[in-house]
Homo-oligomer: A and B are copies of this chain.
Amino acid sequence: MTRSITGDDLVDIARGAAILGTGGGGDPHIGRLLASAALREHGPVRLTPLAELPDDAQVLTVAMVGAPTVMVEKLPSIEQVGLSVATLAEYRGRPVTHIACAEAGGVNSLIPVVAAAQLGLPLVDADGMGRAFPEIQMVLPTLYDIRATPMSVADEKGNRLVVDAVDNHWAERLVRTATVEMGCSTMTSAFAMTGAQARQALVPDTLSLCAELGRLVGQARERHQDPVAAAVARLGGRRLFTGKVVDVLRRTSKGFARGEATLEGLGGDSGARLLIRFQNEHLVAERVAGDGERAEVLASVPDLICTLDSESGEAVTTESLRFGHRVTVIAAPADPRWHSAGGLALAGPRYFGYDIDPVRCPAPEVSA
């Protein structure tokens, strides 16, 4: 089913994408404002289902790279999006036929909407992860030997560069250092691939899922039902912990927002604590019992760990976690390819420095 994204869809998409963003992927409010301005100016964006992409389509992903802590102060501009896509298209000397999302997230699901609107191109209903991850090589296309580069990077001052790296890990290193020098947030275009490659490597239906997830959470709230339960049910996930943020340790370092948040349990979790460690996105959630001695990892990458406002069900991003915030932490299963050996090498807990096996999202709650 081919459909379009109009201004009316943006609230739901932004809300759902921020949940899949697992704390990262950028502030959904900023993403919505940018996409809304682009759609007002250029009209609706056609959405192409992944399965309908022609073999010879020329697909590019468009995404913000950097620390979300910086992005809330240094807002991306619509011009930057166009500059990034044009720079890469010119370097490759080939026209682009479709825009795709590199990841799901409040900004990074909506920047591609901006790009597609500006360029009058269709957007693929898919993304490269089915969630958000902090580093460039952490997309399923890497598992299919699709190169991130040539990759364009544009800042808000008009500086731009094209990186052509020997592999996707080098792409991450070179784009990250350029991004830090450019002020810690940049607009990028990358992962040029054919339609045939995209059909194999991307996660299908992500934008539809974002829209549906956002709508379900919103409807539950309107109907005075539990919006968190609605999200858990749609994602086939599980509620991990409900509590109040009592401590946030956050630093912007080497181009990322890194740190950890501590939650004090409420209700059934009273007396326990939950520690969430993050690098742009949530990586590990560890429950510590009341006596402070028994610690248990409840979930870890590559599965999704999402912090939702306990009342509204809105995603709380790592850069906006603050003392006193009442949040419910949920886990949801990642695309199964993330649990392959190659997927875990790219984005499993050990890659991030945690010497544990991945703790997979437990079976869904019966009540959900």
Chain B residues with CB under 8 A of A174: 159, 161, 178, 181-182
Stoichiometry (number of copies): 2
Q: Beyond A91-B91, A161-B161, is A177–B166 a contact (Cβ under 8 Å)?
A: no
List A164-179 residues whose CB lies under 8 Å from chain B.
164-166, 170, 173-174, 177-178
Choice from B91, B157, B166, B170 contacting A166 with Cβ under 8 Å = B157
In the complex, whether A267 has a CB less than 8 A from a CB of chain B is no
Q: By the criterion CB–CB under 8 Å, are A177 and B181 in contact?
A: yes
In the bound complex, do residue A157 and residue B170 qualify as a contact, i.e. CB atoms below 8 Å apart? yes
Give the contacting residue for A91; candidates B162, B163, B170; CB below 8 A.
B162
Known A-B contacts A177-B178, A177-B180; A164 and B160 likewise in contact (beta carbons under 8 Å): yes
- Bound-state Cα–Cα, A159 to B169, Å: 11
Q: Determine how close the nearest CB of chain B comes to the CB of A355; give it in whole angstroms.
A: 27
Collect the chain B residues with CB atoms within 8 Å of residue A173's CB: 181
Cα distance A159–B173 in the bound complex, in angstroms: 11
A87 interfacial contact with B, CB 8 Å: yes
Bound form: Cα–Cα A165–B161 in Å: 8
Contacts of A87 in B (CB 8 A): 164
A158 close to chain B: CB less than 8 A: yes
- Cα–Cα distance between A170 and B157 once the two chains are bound (Å): 10
| A164–B161 CB distance below 8 A | yes
Inter-chain contacts of A177 with B (CB < 8 A): 177-178, 180-181
CB pair B161 A163 closer than 8 Å:
yes
Chain B residues near A164: list those with CB within 8 A.
87, 159-162
Task: List the B residue with the shortest CB-CB distance to A180.
Answer: B177
- A178 contacts which chain B residues (CB < 8 A)? 161, 174, 177-178
Specify which of A161, A162, A164, A177 lies most central, judged by the most chain B CB atoms within 10 Å of its CB.
A161
Interface residues of A in 87-130 (CB under 8 A from B): 87, 91
Question: Once bound together, how far apart are the Cα atoms of A28 and B133, in whole Å?
Answer: 47
| A165–B170 CB distance below 8 A | no
A257 to chain B, nearest CB (A): 20
Q: In the complex, what distance in Å separates the CA atom of A163 from the CA atom of B160?
A: 6
A159 CB, nearest partner CB in chain B, Å: 5
Which 3 residue pairs are nearest across A and B when measured between Cβ atoms? Answer: A177-B181, A161-B163, A162-B162
9 contacts between A and B (CB under 8 A): A87-B164, A91-B91, A158-B166, A159-B164, A159-B174, A161-B178, A174-B182, A177-B181, A178-B178
